[in-house]
A and B are shown apart, each in its own frame.
Chain A
Amino acid sequence: MSELLQFIISGVTVGAIYAAIALGFTLIYNATGVVNFAQGEFVVIGGMTAAALIGAGVPVPLAALLAVLAGTLAGVLLYRLAIKPARQAPLVSLIIITIGASIFIRGAMQTLFDKQIHRYDGFSGDAPLRFGGATILPQSLWIIAGSVAVFGFLAWFLNRTRAGRGIRATASNRLAAALVGINTGRAMNLSFAISAGIGALAGVLATPVTFTSYDAGVLMALKGFSATMLGGVGSPLGALAGGLLIGLIEATTAGYVSSDYKDAAAFVVILAVLFVRPQGLFGAKITERV
């Protein structure tokens, strides 16, 4: 019984990280229809910047804030320099742009920082908390709380604020949104900024557990993308659910079946879900206008 609890804790911890990344994907998709494959790099920017600052003696809260700001800035630059100039480009071209941007950012990380793996201490220390025969790291609680907070923020933002509703309108029909006076450019810019900030925050929170290095972004993006699609792209609840589900599948497969194929189990589940529900768990039903 305590074993199952340990597996669940493991699954929820990594799942929360995936969910945070997926929430970033979701926001940008909601505004621009683009799945931003550079999302993983924002996580790295957050982690590496925080690691560098903390290593240089900057107090943790300030370092965290600066790291998130660095990520946000990177997101704005990505939009301004790479996405906005390419407006009206076909979807596939936009995908390639984000991939190219991720390669560029990775190269920049490598020269700005270094190729080593980095870490800093957990915000509440590293002594594990024990209960029910299982253990959990205090940082895991920070990660889970962070992801839930991001989800809560996004749900509120997209539904209750003008800026958020503007973003959703832009994604739904850009022309119509512009016609009713929504500043679509600003909406898209904002979505990239917030999304990057979310990614950087995920990196800052996760680094004590996952470590960070200049090329950690690729796999982060992959997991985040998988979580987004499993949950249904465009739905914040889907992103949260997708991330947690993938984390739990990985942990329970490693624990009960075979650690060799734990990643495979996640993909099998994704394929199975999509065969039955082609729009993901919580995604909007896909309609094709003729």
Chain B
Amino acid sequence: MTKHAVAAGVSALALLTAAPALAEIKIGASLAVTGPAAFLGDPEAKTLEMLVEELNAAGGINGEQVELIVYDDGADPNKARTFATRLIEEDEVVAVIGGSSTGATMAMAPLFADYEIPFISLAGAVVIIDPVQEFVFKTPHTDRMACEKIFADITARGLSKVGLISGTDGFGASMREQCLAVAGDAGVEIVADESYGGSDSDMTPQLTNIAATDGIEAVVNPGFGQGPAVVTRNYAQLGIELPFYQSHGVASDEFIKLAGDAANGLRLPATPLLIPDQLSEDDPQREPVQGYIAAYQAKYGETPSTFGGYAFDAFHLLLDAIERAGSTDPVAIRDALEATSGMAGVTGVYSFSPEDHMGLDLSAFRMLEIRDGGWAAVE
């Protein structure tokens, strides 16, 4: 009798003292931390790392710590797909945030359907969520929405003849296509259509041609990186007075630094991240925006960019979904994501549905104008 009791006692003791494997929730990310899209991926990675650190310090999700695994795909779709496979199979993540570029996103997307892991993309093209793929979501506005917002502002000013000058990178080219597609319905006529390479240093020939176009009334520049800053400088250099619009691809203080005084007077659709102090008290985005800026500034010593904001929102959407799902089963997380309603992030207020994996409408975009080297809301 005593032998059994001792055995039972020892086993019970062994079970109790064996350290329980620290249940860790693994979240994966494949971002363009280096390479031509580092502009996007670097702040995204920094934001995710900061948020995970904060979360774990506050006790994690339901007491479980979160492990973030970030791979640098350099916006190479080949590498992105390999890393996605690695994240799903080797690292066994429950969800993936990533795809700083559309190419990388689209290369990874089929894997998430196969393995049934939810994926939140940080890239811009509308093709990511149209047609809707069951396990793919995205946080940034679509380029189509940017065009619609810009055109709405142009027509509100009583103008209609527009010239485009676009970067030949994925973002610029894709947005140019969308602008051409929605122009008619928006009451706008595209009368000039020029392009430039992402690393070009002088766009005066293209702008000269645009300025010389008959009857032109406004100019729009889809693009990101340094191109738009060069275009803006050239615009001022040539003395072009027409209303000038940039895209959300340059919604950052960096852009104002690079473009200098030439940027004054131009408008672009952006997230409230750029006007934290101008948000009203009852704006649901005020708290997340100011909180994010303060935390990022404290940790990295610089203001966060719109792209970091996409990662911020993706992470919080995921967190919110995991909490609502009450489990870390990927399919349950996905279902909870799809049921997200009215979640205020720094980019906008998100509400997903089975037909809408983007979650934002045009009101999430604020039209901003650059005045005296700073941002001002145009209303």
Contact = CB atoms under 8 A, between A and B. Distances in A.
Nearest to A129: B237
Given A6-B205, A14-B201, A17-B201, A213 B194 contact: no
Contacts of B212: 3
B352 interface: no
A265 to B, nearest CB: 12
Contact of B208 (A7, A210, A216): A7
Contacts of A3: 208-209, 212
Contacts of B200: 14
B183 interface: no
A262 B42 CA distance: 31
A116 B208 CA distance: 29
Interface string B187-208: 0000000111101111011101
B78 to A, nearest CB: 18
A259 B42 contact: no
Given A115-B38, A135-B237, A209 B260 contact: no
Which residue of B226, B229, B230 has the most chain A CB atoms within 10 A of its CB atom? B226
Contacts of B233: 126
A130 B205 CA distance: 16
A117 B237 contact: no
A211 B229 contact: yes
Nearest to A5: B208
B257 interface: yes
Given A137-B237, A219-B199, A255 B205 contact: yes
Given A110-B34, A117-B258, A215-B38, A254 B226 contact: no
Nearest to B238: A135
B260 to A, nearest CB: 7
B204 A117 contact: no
A168 interface: no
B237 A254 contact: no
A3 B213 CA distance: 12
A239 interface: no
Interface residues of B, number: 33
A209 B38 contact: no
Nearest to B34: A110
B258 A119 contact: yes
Contacts of A6: 204-205, 208, 238
Contact of A10 (B36, B202, B225, B260): B202
Nearest to A143: B201
Contacts of A116: 254
Which residue of A9, A13, A260 has the most chain B CB atoms within 10 A of its CB atom? A260
Contact of B35 (A10, A119, A128, A215): A215
B20 interface: no
B39 interface: yes
B215 interface: no
Given A115-B34, A115-B38, A135-B238, A259 B201 contact: no
B22 to A, nearest CB: 32
25 contacts: A3-B212, A7-B204, A7-B208, A10-B205, A13-B201, A117-B225, A117-B226, A119-B229, A126-B260, A130-B239, A135-B239, A137-B237, A209-B201, A210-B201, A211-B230, A213-B226, A215-B34, A251-B204, A254-B196, A254-B205, A254-B206, A255-B205, A259-B195, A259-B205, A260-B195
Given A137-B237, A259-B196, 12 more contacts: A6-B204, A6-B238, A117-B254, A126-B260, A211-B226, A211-B229, A216-B199, A251-B204, A251-B205, A254-B194, A254-B206, A255-B206
5 pairs of A and B residues whose beta carbons are closest in the complex:
A210-B201, A255-B205, A254-B205, A115-B38, A128-B237
